Each structure stands twice: as structure tokens, then as C-alpha cells.
């Protein structure tokens, strides 16, 4: 968005007015957002069960319990969850980013039918995770589902069809694939907008100078898209860490914890096992991973501020 | 960065390379939409037909009975109603409160301006998990009990015994949506309001308009395109929420459609035509909003994501 470069911000002598505008929303924000963030940190250092009137302060015991469970013969739910979140994160910052950028470039050439393609690829972004979970559960249905009946029709042996969500190895990949299906359209739209800011004259000049399309992309377009790429990566990381709905509806973390993510784990720890302290600690672990990227994002926005 | 919009070149005859690109995009988009179209086709078929002949067989029978049954038996319309009861006030509240702070942040210089702004910006990227337990506790503890007891004592009215709390009330879900979405809305609207020329406001001030009048009569109308963009986005985000309703509501009759749907799957485990019919009905409101307000929808995403 273009912001007119007016530095003029109203100066008043007794400036109490802005606070009247700010105070209401800020109060709600503190009670429901800022306060809870800190309270979760406190909870993570207690053994609270969610019911008792009192809780004991136990320091970092919950964290020791979580990280101590890593590397056992039988992987713990926490180990699975942490691994799955990191896998999700890694897939999200690479696959949808690459495909989204590729599509954006193809859709930036003024080809016929552009709009239709964009709408089609963006459509999943409008669906709720609940709906996506159901649609993909049907796609992955082992017997009559869309995927396996296609495999059957293509001559795949009927007694050896993949179990997808029921398969311990495949399940998490199947879920991440469904999540990427939703994500790609979003990334594509962000890059389409970003490409509008790449001056065509630069590309043309490079073309005249004899640069190959490959060089033009890596030397001009991609570096100019760097700000968009930063945002895309931050958004992808945060979205991968927020993953909950798909897992909850498609597999509930099964089979045998193999699709559990930190969000599901903390839900089970807190609301099924009444270990609020441990659940809070899990949330803190997840928050710490996201913090790095929140800071990168903030830094980006601050840089924009300095321009004016 | 300056935006350069060259005049669109007249469409020339496409080269072979361009035809290949179009062909690729066509095939890609069609394959991409298979799950969605597949769900639509499934919703008009019968499970017997598909278990016998597979999904990719020609339908032996086409029926709308899945939709009839989904609407009559699964309660999807009731759940949809609940979604609106939650979404509309939450959306209005978010936009109103965000526009208030956005106005102050965009057009006034005061101590803490930047700090508050960055706090909202950071909030847009917060994973909800870090809020889950305290917000759950908050909703259980913000109760009207004291008010009820007072009412009973003073007026001697036999009030219901039960504690009335934010937990399991629409208001509880609405409040967290407002708070959680405020960061993004404030961020986008604040930047939008900064692009309004200050002279208009100065002129109004000279004419004796008060600050609220300037905000309501001048800034808000000029911010309408930005409000339209964030509203369409926020509508789908709040409407599609699953986690907060799951945490904060216990009474099945209050569930929004996302949660209603996930129960549908448990209820009709193997009847996929019925489940997909229900899912498609459930997604209709957001699809309508998307197709009707596409321009704003996509505009909103790019406003927030890339400046």
C-alpha cells in the first residue's frame, strides 16, 4: 500500500484525546492477549491440574519432563509433536513458497484465463480447516476414497493400497499435504502482489543486455522480492506452528501419536489429563520457536516505519 | 518503492511457449481442484455406488437426498446460525475497536504511540496456544454470580442458581475473537488511515469539529475501502474458527458450524456423501462472501502481508 509521505501528524498542546481512543481497545487487548501470554509462562512453572484452588511452584520441572522424554526407545508424544511441528515448518517454508512463487510468475505474464486460475488455486484458502479436514479425510479414505480408487483404476494391486491417514509413516505427510493445499493460494497471492512492484523496465533492460530468463529471475526478480519472501516465510512458520484443527479432526494425533503436534499435545495434556502446568510448558516451547520469527517480522515492520 | 503500472499491452497472438504455460496452468488448476470438485460430486452420489464401483466410476445414480438429510438430520443449519451469532458481533466489535485505536495511532502523536503500535503488530503473529489456558480460565472466572447474589438479596428475586460465566456463552467466544483479531485490523487500518491527507482533518478542526466527529464523519468514510478489505478477511477467519469454540463452549446447541461438522463425522462415520454434503453447506457463507467480495478479499491479504 502506498502511504503518502506526509510526516504531518496533528500536534495539539494538551493531547489527552488519543488516549480516549486507545484506552478501551487496549484494555481488552491486555486482559485477553498480553496478560495471558505472561500468565502461561507462570503456569508453565507450576504443577496446576486445572481444578485445585492452589498450585505449587515447581520451577523448570515441567520443561525437564518434556525434554527428558526425548530420545527414549519409544518416542514420547512430545518428541513426536516437536518433530512433526518442525517437519511441518520445514515443508511449509519450502514447498508452498516455491510453488506459490512459481505460480505467481506464470500468472504475471498476462496469459488468458489468469483470473480463473488464480481463483481456483486460491479457493481452498476460503474453506475452514474443518471442511478441509473432512474433504481430505474422504480423499484419503483407504477403501472407496478419491485417491485410492484412482490408484485402483490405474492398476495398483488392491491388497497393497496405502493406508494414508491410518499408516503410521504416511499420516503426518498426508496431513501436511492437505495443509499445503490450503497454503499455496495464499503465498501465490502475496507474490502476485509483490511482482507488481518489480518494474518491468528493469527486466526488459536485462533482456536487452542478453540475460537469460534464469539469470533475470535470480539476479533481478528474486532479490527485489526479498521483502515479500521475508513475510511469506514468517507467515508460513507461524501457520505451521498454529496447526491444530486438521490434526484434531483428521486423526486426533494418531495412529500411536505419529501425527501429534504441540498444539494437540497441549490440548490433551490440559483438557484430557488435567495437567495445566505441563500443557502451559508445551505452549511455551512452541511460543519460543515462534518468537524468533515474530521478532523478524517486527523488525521488518519497524524498518518500514523508519522510511517515513 | 514506486509502483510502476505500465499500460497493459494489447493481447498478441500467443507464442508456443505461452500456449504451453496456459496448458500447464489449466491442467495444474484442474488437478488442484480435484478434492473440491470430488467433494461436490460425492455429495450427489450414494455410498453404496461408490464402495461398489469406486469414486472414479460413472455414477449409477444422482441424488440430492444427501443434502436433504444433512439439513434435516445433522442440524447443520442450526450450527450455521450459531456461527453467524458469533461472527457478526465479533466482526463489528473488532472493526470498531480497531478503527478507534488505528485513528489515534495514525493521526496523533503521543507517548507510547509506536510502542502500542508494535505491540499490536507483534500480536498478529502470536500462536494462539500461548493464550489458550489463561483465556479458558478467564472465561471460567468472569462470572455474573456476584451480580446475581446481589439481585437476590436486594430484590428478593429467585434467580437461577447456576453461575453465569463467560464460559459456554457466545460472549466469551466473541470477546476472544475481538481481542485476537484486533492486532491485524489495527495494523492494517492504521496504515490505511495514515494515507489520508492531514489537510482534510485540519480543515474540519478549524471548522470546530471535535475529535470524535473527525474520526466518525471524516476518517471512517475515507477508510471504507480498507474496512471492506479487512472485514471480508476477518469474516472468513472468525467464521472458520474451530479452536476457540472448542475450548470455550461446552453446550452442543451453541456450537458453530466448524465444530458441528467435526461431530457430523463421528455421527455418520462412513456415509461420505452425507458428510461432504454437510461440509459444502457449511462452507456456503464463506464461499458467497469470497465470490461476491473477491477484490476486497485479496486486497486485504496483500494489505496486511506486503505493503
Q: Which domains does chain A have, with CATH numbers?
A: 77-261+290-306 (1.10.3720.10)
Please indicate whether, in this complex, the C-beta atoms of A126 and B236 are within 8 angstroms of each other.
yes
Please indicate whether, in this complex, the C-beta atoms of B283 and A128 are within 8 angstroms of each other.
yes
pTM of the model: 0.89
Give the model's pLDDT for residue B1.
Answer: 40
B87: Cβ–Cβ under 8 A, 6 or more apart, which residues?
B235, B238, B239, B256
Residues of chain B with pLDDT under 50: 1-4, 159, 161, 306-307
Taking only residues 211 to 250 of chain A, the set having a beta carbon closer than 8 angstroms to any beta carbon of chain B reads 227-228, 231-232, 234-235, 238, 241-242, 244-245, 248-249
Quick check: B175 and A22 in contact, CB under 8 A? no
Q: Residue A288: what are its φ and ψ, rounded to 5°? A: -65, -40
Q: Residue A196: what are its φ and ψ, rounded to 5°? A: -65, -20
Taking only residues 202 to 261 of chain B, the set having a beta carbon closer than 8 angstroms to any beta carbon of chain A reads 202, 205, 211, 215, 236, 239-243, 246-247, 257-259, 261
Quick check: A215 and A206 in contact, CB under 8 A? yes
Confirm whether B65 is domain-assigned.
no
Q: Give the residue ranges of DSSP H helices in chain A.
A: 17-29, 35-43, 61-68, 77-106, 114-122, 129-139, 146-153, 171-195, 200-208, 213-216, 222-224, 226-241, 245-250, 262-267, 276-306
Confirm whether B7 is domain-assigned.
no
Tell which wins on pLDDT, B260 or A29. Answer: A29
Scan for cell 438429510, then name that residue: B69
Dist. CA A153–CA B136, nearest whole Å = 49
A278: Cβ–Cβ under 8 A, 6 or more apart, which residues?
A62, A65, A66, A269, A270
Give the model's pLDDT for residue A110.
Answer: 85
List the beta bridge partners of residue B143: B165
Taking only residues 160 to 189 of chain A, the set having a beta carbon closer than 8 angstroms to any beta carbon of chain B reads 181, 186, 189
Confirm whether B193 is domain-assigned.
yes
| Residue from A50, A105, A128, A237 to probe the interface with B (highest B Cβ count within 10 Å) | A128
B129: Cβ–Cβ under 8 A, 6 or more apart, which residues?
A241, A242, A244, A262, A263, A266, A282, A283, A286, A287
Q: Minimum mean pLDDT among A124-128, A288-292, B259-263: which range?
A: B259-263
| pLDDT confidence tier of residue A198, bands split at 50, 70 and 90 | confident
Quick check: B202 and B178 in contact, CB under 8 A? no
Asked if B183 reaches chain A (Cβ–Cβ under 8 Å), the answer is yes
Dist. CA A130–CA B266, nearest whole Å = 13
Please indicate whether, in this complex, the C-beta atoms of B129 and A262 are within 8 angstroms of each other.
yes
Give the model's pLDDT for residue A178.
Answer: 96
Please indicate whether, in this complex, the C-beta atoms of A286 and B258 are within 8 angstroms of each other.
no
Please indicate whether, in this complex, the C-beta atoms of A32 and B179 are within 8 angstroms of each other.
yes
Give the model's pLDDT for residue A272.
Answer: 92
Please report, for the domain that includes residue B199, its CATH number: 1.10.3720.10
Domain count, chain B: 1
Confirm whether B173 is domain-assigned.
yes
Q: Minimum mean pLDDT among A22-26, A84-88, A208-212: which range?
A: A208-212
Tell which wins on pLDDT, A179 or A155. Answer: A179
Quick check: A297 and A231 in contact, CB under 8 A? yes
Across chain A, which distance is largest between two alpha carbons, in Å?
81
Please give, rounded to a whole number of angstroms, the shortest distance from the CA of B134 to a CA of chain A.
5
Give the model's pLDDT for residue B307.
Answer: 39
Half-sphere exposure of B125 (CA within 13 A, CB side): 29
Dist. CA B167–CA B250, nearest whole Å = 8
Give the model's pLDDT for residue B148.
Answer: 59
Dist. CA A95–CA A180, nearest whole Å = 8
Q: Which residues of chain B does A279 touch, with a Cβ-Cβ cutoff of 8 Å?
A: 132-133
Q: Which residues of chain B does A135 touch, with a Cβ-Cβ cutoff of 8 Å?
A: 35-36, 38-39, 276, 279
Give the model's pLDDT for residue B163.
Answer: 60
What integer best gives the mean pLDDT of chain A? 89
Confirm whether B58 is domain-assigned.
no
Confirm whether B157 is domain-assigned.
yes
Task: Provide the residue range defining the domain that includes B193.
Answer: 77-256+287-305
Give the model's pLDDT for residue B146.
Answer: 59
Please give, rounded to a whole number of angstroms, the shortest distance from the CA of B103 to a CA of chain A.
8
Please give, rounded to a whole number of angstroms, the shortest distance from the CA of A269 to a CA of chain B.
11
Please indicate whether, in this complex, the C-beta atoms of A144 and B306 are within 8 angstroms of each other.
no
Question: Cell for A197?
Answer: 512492484
| Local structure of residue B161 (DSSP, 8 states) | S
Write down the ipTM of this complex. Answer: 0.88
Asked if B186 reaches chain A (Cβ–Cβ under 8 Å), the answer is yes
Please indicate whether, in this complex, the C-beta atoms of B108 and A17 are within 8 angstroms of each other.
yes
**Among candidate residues B103, B241, B259, the one with its CA nearest the CA of residue B173:** B241
Amino acid at each position: 500500500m502506498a502511504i503518502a509521505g506526509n510526516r504531518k501528524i496533528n500536534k495539539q498542546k494538551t493531547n489527552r484525546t488519543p488516549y480516549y481512543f486507545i484506552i478501551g481497545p487496549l484494555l481488552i487487548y491486555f486482559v485477553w492477549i498480553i496478560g495471558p501470554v505472561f500468565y502461561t509462562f507462570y503456569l508453565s512453572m507450576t504443577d496446576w491440574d486445572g481444578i485445585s484452588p492452589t498450585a505449587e511452584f515447581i520451577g523448570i520441572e515441567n520443561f525437564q519432563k518434556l525434554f527428558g522424554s526425548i530420545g527414549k526407545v519409544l518416542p514420547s508424544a512430545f518428541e513426536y509433536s516437536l518433530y512433526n511441528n518442525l517437519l511441518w515448518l520445514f515443508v511449509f517454508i519450502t514447498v508452498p513458497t516455491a510453488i506459490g512463487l512459481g505460480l505467481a510468475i506464470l500468472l504475471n505474464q498476462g496469459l488468458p484465463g489468469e483470473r480463473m486460475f488464480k481463483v481456483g488455486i486460491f479457493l481452498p484458502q476460503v474453506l475452514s480447516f474443518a471442511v478441509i479436514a473432512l474433504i481430505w479425510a474422504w480423499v484419503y479414505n483407504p477403501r472407496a476414497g478419491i485417491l485410492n480408487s484412482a490408484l485402483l483404476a490405474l492398476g495398483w494391486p488392491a491388497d497393497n493400497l496405502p493406508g494414508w491417514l491410518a499408516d503410521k509413516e504416511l499420516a503426518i505427510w498426508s496431513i501436511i499435504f492437505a495443509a499445503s493445499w490450503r497454503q499455496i493460494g495464499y503465498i501465490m497471492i502475496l507474490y502476485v502482489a509483490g511482482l507488481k512492484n518489480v518494474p518491468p523496465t528493469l527486466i526488459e533492460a536485462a533482456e536487452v543486455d542478453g540475460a537469460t530468463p534464469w539469470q533475470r529471475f535470480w539476479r533481478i526478480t528474486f532479490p527485489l522480492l526479498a521483502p515479500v519472501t521475508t513475510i511469506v516465510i514468517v507467515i508460513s512458520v507461524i501457520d505451521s506452528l498454529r496447526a491444530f484443527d486438521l490434526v484434531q479432526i483428521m486423526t486426533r494425533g494418531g495412529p500411536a501419536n505419529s501425527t501429534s503436534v504441540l498444539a494437540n499435545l497441549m490440548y490433551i495434556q490440559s483438557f484430557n489429563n488435567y495437567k495445566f502446568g505441563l500443557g502451559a510448558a508445551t505452549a511455551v516451547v512452541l511460543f519460543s520457536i515462534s518468537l524468533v520469527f515474530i521478532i523478524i517480522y517486527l523488525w521488518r515492520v519497524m524498518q518500514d516505519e523508519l522510511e517515513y | 518503492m514506486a509502483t510502476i503500472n505500465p499500460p497493459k499491452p494489447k493481447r498478441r497472438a500467443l507464442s508456443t511457449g505461452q500456449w504451453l504455460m496456459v496448458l500447464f496452468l489449466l491442467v495444474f488448476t484442474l488437478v488442484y481442484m480435484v478434492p473440491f470438485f470430488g467433494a461436490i460430486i460425492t455429495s450427489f452420489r450414494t455410498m453404496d455406488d461408490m464402495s461398489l464401483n469406486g469414486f472414479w466410476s460413472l455414477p449409477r445414480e444422482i441424488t440430492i437426498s444427501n443434502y436433504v438429510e444433512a439439513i434435516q438430520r445433522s442440524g447443520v443449519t442450526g450450527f450455521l446460525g450459531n456461527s453467524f451469532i458469533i461472527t457478526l458481533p465479533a466482526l463489528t466489535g473488532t472493526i470498531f475497536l480497531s478503527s478507534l485505536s488505528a485513528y489515534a495511532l495514525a493521526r496523533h502523536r503521543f507517548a507510547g504511540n509506536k510502542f502500542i503500535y508494535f505491540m499490536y503488530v507483534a500480536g498478529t503473529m502470536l500462536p494462539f496456544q500461548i493464550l489458550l489456558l489463561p483465556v479458558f480460565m478467564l472465561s471460567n472466572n468472569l462470572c455474573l454470580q456476584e451480580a446475581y447474589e446481589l439481585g437476590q438479596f436486594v430484590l428478593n428475586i429467585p434467580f437461577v442458581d447456576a453461575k453465569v460465566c463467560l464460559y459456554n456463552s457466545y460472549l466469551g467466544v466473541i470477546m476472544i475473537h475481538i481481542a485476537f483479531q484486533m492486532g491485524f485490523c489495527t495494523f492494517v487500518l492504521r496504515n490505511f488511515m495514515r494515507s489520508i491527507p492531514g489537510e482534510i482533518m485540519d480543515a474540519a478542526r478549524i471548522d470546530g469539529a471535535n475529535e470524535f466527529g473527525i474520526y466518525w464523519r471524516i476518517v471512517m468514510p475515507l477508510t471504507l475501502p480498507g474496512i471492506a478489505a479487512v472485514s471480508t478477511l476477518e469474516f472468513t477467519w472468525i467464521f472458520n474458527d474451530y479452536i476457540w469454540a472448542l475450548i470455550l463452549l461446552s453446550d452442543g446447541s451453541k456450537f458453530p458450524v466448524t465444530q458441528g461438522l467435526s461431530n457430523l463425522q463421528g455421527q455418520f462415520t462412513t456415509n461420505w456423501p452425507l458428510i461432504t454434503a454437510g461440509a459444502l453447506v457449511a462452507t456456503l457463507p464463506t464461499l458467497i462472501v469470497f465470490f461476491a467480495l473477491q477484490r476486497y478479499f485479496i486486497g486485504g491479504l496483500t494489505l496486511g502481508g506486503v505493503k
